[in-house]
A and B are shown apart, each in its own frame.
Chain A
Amino acid sequence: MDWSEPRNVKEWARRAIALRPLVLVLLIFAILISELRFDWLEQALGSYLVTTNTKRPESGAIWELGHRTITARQTLEQLITDRQSSQREARGATTFTQIASNLPPGQGVMLSSEHFRELYLTLPQGIAHKIVSSFELLRLFSNGRWVRTYLENEDYGFKIYLLNSENRVLRELRIPSDLLHQIRRVEIALEGTLEDMPTFENRVYPADRFFRAMESLPEEDLRSVISHPERLLGMPGRIVRVGISDEAVSGYIELGFEIDDGTRRRVILLPGREWAVWSLRSFLEEKGQESNHAPSSQGNETQK
């Protein structure tokens, strides 16, 4: 149908009030009013956005806050885990060497006073005395104030704080690196034979000869030669040879016990009191001269 421009207002009004425009206007108004009344546009948009929600990024202030919280929790968890793992290993340790090997430099662990006492008792008397006198420990233990012990791994060795319940230091102890090294040597069975250790050169004796000589010592001196016979008893295998060091340090001489468990040979080092070892050596020399040749369980187990 051709459209022509209305020529006058009457024509224009007639056309405007016709059915079609009225329906159109009513429709537009109905849409507008229903939107105002029922918010369908907002609801439609909102519903659409809900469907896309999971695909959208976790961005914005609150998500950043959330991410920071997660990062912070992870950092804390890591710190706690590290600390707890050091603590757990320390609690399970039966020797100082185990603690020293598991504790990173600059870090520390807290032990109960009882645990420290147990660790202390595993040390040979000579070494233990260098750390702290057993009487001093006894004094601290008996007055009930010593409740915890903090061990810190520092550059020069170990620092040990005996603490009361308020974390105040009752006694500060140190295990310098060289002493720690000594402890390691004592606590760890070294792989190999006495020949591998020049310090025992010319002073290696068959075990039976050594222990026969021990029998010559008075009962009260035996512990001065071997302060921890339990440690030797606890080792699997048999002691085949014993070496005596040619060097005395702070009144002690190191003894090396070579143990054969059938598959390998290992050496355990224990310090003995200098005077007791010298006295034992004189018996050993005498016995040596008497028998001139000692029986041996292996070909190389003779005095060199």
Chain B
Amino acid sequence: MTTPGTFIRLLRTVFYMTLALISIAAFISIGMFFVAVQDLPRVPEPLRRIIETPPTEIYAATGERLMVIGGREVVPLSKVSTHFIQAVLATEDHRFWEHHGVDKLRTLKALWVTLFEPGRIEGASTITQQLSKNLFFSFKRSYMRKFRELLVALQIESQYSKREILEAYINQIPMGVGAHGIEQASQAFFGKQALELTLAESALLAGLPKSPTRYNPYLHYDRARERQRVVLSRMAAVGYITRAQADSASRDALNLRRPPSGALTGSYFLDMVVRSLEERYGPDVIYHGGLKVTTTLDPQLQTWAVESLQEGLARLEKMLGVYEQAKHGAFREVIRPQGALVGIETNSGAVKAMVGGRNYGETEYNRAVQNNRLPGSGFKPFLYYTAFEKLGMNPATVFLDRPVTVPVIGAEDWTPENFGLKHEGPMILKKALVRSVNSVAAQLVERTGPEEVIRTARRCGIKSHLEPVYSLALGTSGVSPLEMASSFATFANGGIRHGPFWIWRVEDALGRVLEEHIVSGERSLDASIVYQVVDLMRGVVDEGTGSVIRRLGFDLPAAGKTGTTDGYYDAWFTGFTPTLSTSVWVGYDQGEGLRDIQGRGITGGRGAAPIWANFMIKATQGEPPREFAIPPDIRFETVNPVTGRAANESTPNPMRIALREGQSLYSDTLEDEIPYNSETETSQVAR
């Protein structure tokens, strides 16, 4: 066969094969079209109708809006900065005004790059295709999904004007930090309306849709600025702006708004609120129904709570030597201590401030509510109340601080140790609580029984599981800071218990009330006995294990109790004024005790009480000193803290104690000084 003949035959074969391939492709396309069209989603009329959903708005008690969940508010193109529209068009689809849903030249280019430039994949989706994908399709990659997305885009182009399409697009694009659409993004990042955006701001925001997390300016500022420069460069290339304008805008400082409280400071609290709402109304109502929720949060107190905890944790880290480790380049690997703080209004139970950890962005685990940690001696006020109520004891009852072993049926004897491993001999109960003496607490719980102590704790509002063992008196059953703050509020409130709550009122979008909280207290403890315990706890703050609070400058009447657990795993301080009860916990999330660089353990007084003081100084600033209400049957005596007898001028370190009607001092049986004898039976002294 001749060469031309072969050539012609080859050419013919190629021609027929191409024809066949085109036919097959055409048949497949037609087949795919009919398959895809069968369950193609319906496009709504008008397009903006289904983008609009009412938001659930969460407000602080002061009326400040804290958070918006869901909800899309459509802004017309006329209310959006031209810079932003141009930036979006330049970056996402510069031939938007020319094509009919598909940019064929760009598609061919993308196909070429994908096929012939290994390792590179270029997208060619137009704004209409992106809108189609965002509105109707999942992000699962498949050819059929892509094809259907294309068909819907074609329909959208036929059904709506370019302005309507662009408006729908910019109102629904996810922009990060929970913002959907340009108006929400503009408010979230710059605290202004979309119409007011400058060129630099517009370019920054227009760069976000590619990857809202990756280019989040709060988390990755430099990367976001780099993306902004790319957008500006595209705008210049397309001709919307000059190169000089692009350069100038890329140098402009960005006045980013502080991260919204919804993303950081209030989030532990807001998480709790949202969870409660979900339990009551179900997720659909919360995310799509549009509620108006008024919470109990006081934003100012919340800010101070966050600041106090963060400052306290920074100080704690210094003590622990975390910064020393950081200097050696190991900061990221170092486990940092955590903390929690809850502030509750005593006469209502309203949670005014709550911080569940050092940084919500790092961990969403709410240690203020979900973390059941051992309260240590912080539990003793329940024990002392029980002893006063059930055994008729009073703050001047004398006990011996001595080594104690409590036999436990079916288990090993319980031998609690004092914090300093020393014993001081006889002392009144007030001194025992002020100094947090464990041996006296052990003797008390042996007499009251753990069940009675649990009953008292329950009456105060502790809901966590409490193990009925003697060591309960020293706080060996886990409780949350919320429970501690709430139960101590019962003491602050003279024995009237208000359950903690965080939602004042829930309304629908039209303002119709769904629920409102009623502040109802219940007398759960005897007012006079409560006052006696409060008086003991005042001693803790004024001269005991929590006296750091006074040294730090908190001078209002206050009562509280420190708590430290074995191994220094937990450090607590829970205290209150007549109006505000606050609990602070610090510790590691897992497996490590708090020890400073010298190896000394960090107690509640060192770790948590300064945070409490810092917060309470700010939270009560400007408040006049207000005393705890004294029940009419209470009288005061000044006694010898060793003998419990009335003090005279020569008595060293006398203590003022509160007695109820019918209670008297032990002046008739005890000598002024009882020499310490560890063999002495407690029963000879205490009665």
Interface residues of A (CB under 8 A from B): 5-9, 12, 36, 39, 42-43, 45-47, 49-50, 52-54, 56-63, 65-66, 68-69, 71-73, 75-76, 79-80, 83-84, 150, 161, 163, 166-169, 172
| B137 interfacial by beta-carbon distance below 8 Å | yes
A-B residue pairs, 9 tightest by C-beta: A46-B158, A60-B136, A72-B289, A39-B100, A49-B155, A46-B154, A60-B41, A72-B288, A62-B135
How long is the Cα–Cα vector from A79 to B518 in the complex, in angstroms? 19
The closest CB in chain A to the CB of B280 belongs to A79
Interface centre among A45, A59, A72, A167 (most CB of B within 10 A): A72
A16 to chain B, nearest CB (A): 10
How long is the Cα–Cα vector from A167 to B516 in the complex, in angstroms? 8
Selected contact of A169 from candidates B2, B5, B521, CB within 8 Å: B521
Selected contact of B136 from candidates A63, A83, A168, CB within 8 Å: A63
Is A53 within 8 A of B512, CB to CB?
A: no
The closest CB in chain A to the CB of B102 belongs to A42
Is B42 within 8 A of A58, CB to CB?
A: yes
Interface centre among B7, B151, B152, B158 (most CB of A within 10 A): B158
Residues of B within 8 A of A169 (CB): 518-521
Given known A50-B158, A50-B159, A161-B518, contact A61–B42 (CB-CB < 8 A) = no
A284 to chain B, nearest CB (A): 47
Is A69 within 8 A of B289, CB to CB?
A: yes
Is B154 within 8 A of A49, CB to CB?
A: yes
Is B41 within 8 A of A59, CB to CB?
A: yes
Given known A39-B100, A68-B287, contact A46–B155 (CB-CB < 8 A) = yes
Residues of A within 8 A of B519 (CB): 166-169
Is A56 within 8 A of B40, CB to CB?
A: yes
How long is the Cα–Cα vector from A36 to B348 in the complex, in angstroms? 72
Interface residues of B in 84-105 (CB under 8 A from A): 99-102, 104
Is B100 within 8 A of A46, CB to CB?
A: yes
Residues of A within 8 A of B520 (CB): 161, 169, 172
The closest CB in chain A to the CB of B8 belongs to A12
A43 to chain B, nearest CB (A): 6
Residues of B within 8 A of A53 (CB): 42-43, 45, 155, 159
Residues of B within 8 A of A58 (CB): 41-42
Interface string of B135-172 (1 = CB under 8 A from A): 11110000000000001101111110000000000000
| B284 interfacial by beta-carbon distance below 8 Å | yes
Is A79 within 8 A of B514, CB to CB?
A: yes
| B237 interfacial by beta-carbon distance below 8 Å | no
B46 to chain A, nearest CB (A): 13
Is A49 within 8 A of B289, CB to CB?
A: no
Is B514 within 8 A of A80, CB to CB?
A: yes
| B53 interfacial by beta-carbon distance below 8 Å | yes
Residues of A within 8 A of B157 (CB): 42-43, 46
User: Can you list 26 A-B contacts (CB < 8 A)?
Assistant: A5-B5, A5-B8, A5-B9, A12-B8, A39-B102, A43-B157, A45-B154, A46-B155, A46-B158, A49-B152, A49-B154, A50-B155, A53-B42, A53-B155, A56-B41, A59-B41, A60-B41, A61-B136, A63-B42, A69-B288, A73-B288, A75-B284, A79-B281, A80-B514, A150-B518, A167-B504
* 19 extra A-B contacts, CB within 8 A, seeds A61-B136, A68-B284: A5-B8, A7-B2, A12-B4, A39-B102, A49-B151, A50-B159, A53-B43, A56-B39, A56-B41, A57-B42, A60-B136, A61-B138, A62-B44, A62-B135, A75-B282, A76-B281, A79-B281, A167-B518, A169-B521
How long is the Cα–Cα vector from A83 to B521 in the complex, in angstroms? 25
A62 to chain B, nearest CB (A): 4
How long is the Cα–Cα vector from A43 to B101 in the complex, in angstroms? 9
The closest CB in chain B to the CB of A6 belongs to B8
| B37 interfacial by beta-carbon distance below 8 Å | yes
Selected contact of A9 from candidates B4, B37, B151, CB within 8 Å: B4
How long is the Cα–Cα vector from A9 to B517 in the complex, in angstroms? 96
| B508 interfacial by beta-carbon distance below 8 Å | yes
Interface residues of B in 635-683 (CB under 8 A from A): none
How long is the Cα–Cα vector from A167 to B2 in the complex, in angstroms? 105
Interface centre among B41, B51, B282 (most CB of A within 10 A): B41
A167 to chain B, nearest CB (A): 5
How long is the Cα–Cα vector from A230 to B291 in the complex, in angstroms? 47
How long is the Cα–Cα vector from A75 to B285 in the complex, in angstroms? 7
Residues of A within 8 A of B4 (CB): 6-9, 12
Is A39 within 8 A of B99, CB to CB?
A: yes
Residues of B within 8 A of A61 (CB): 134-138
Selected contact of A8 from candidates B2, B290, B508, CB within 8 Å: B2
Given known A53-B42, A169-B518, contact A43–B348 (CB-CB < 8 A) = no
Selected contact of B281 from candidates A5, A9, A75, A150, CB within 8 Å: A75
Given known A12-B4, A53-B43, contact A68–B288 (CB-CB < 8 A) = yes
Residues of A within 8 A of B284 (CB): 68, 71-72, 75
Is A42 within 8 A of B100, CB to CB?
A: yes
| B50 interfacial by beta-carbon distance below 8 Å | yes
Residues of A within 8 A of B154 (CB): 42-43, 45-46, 49
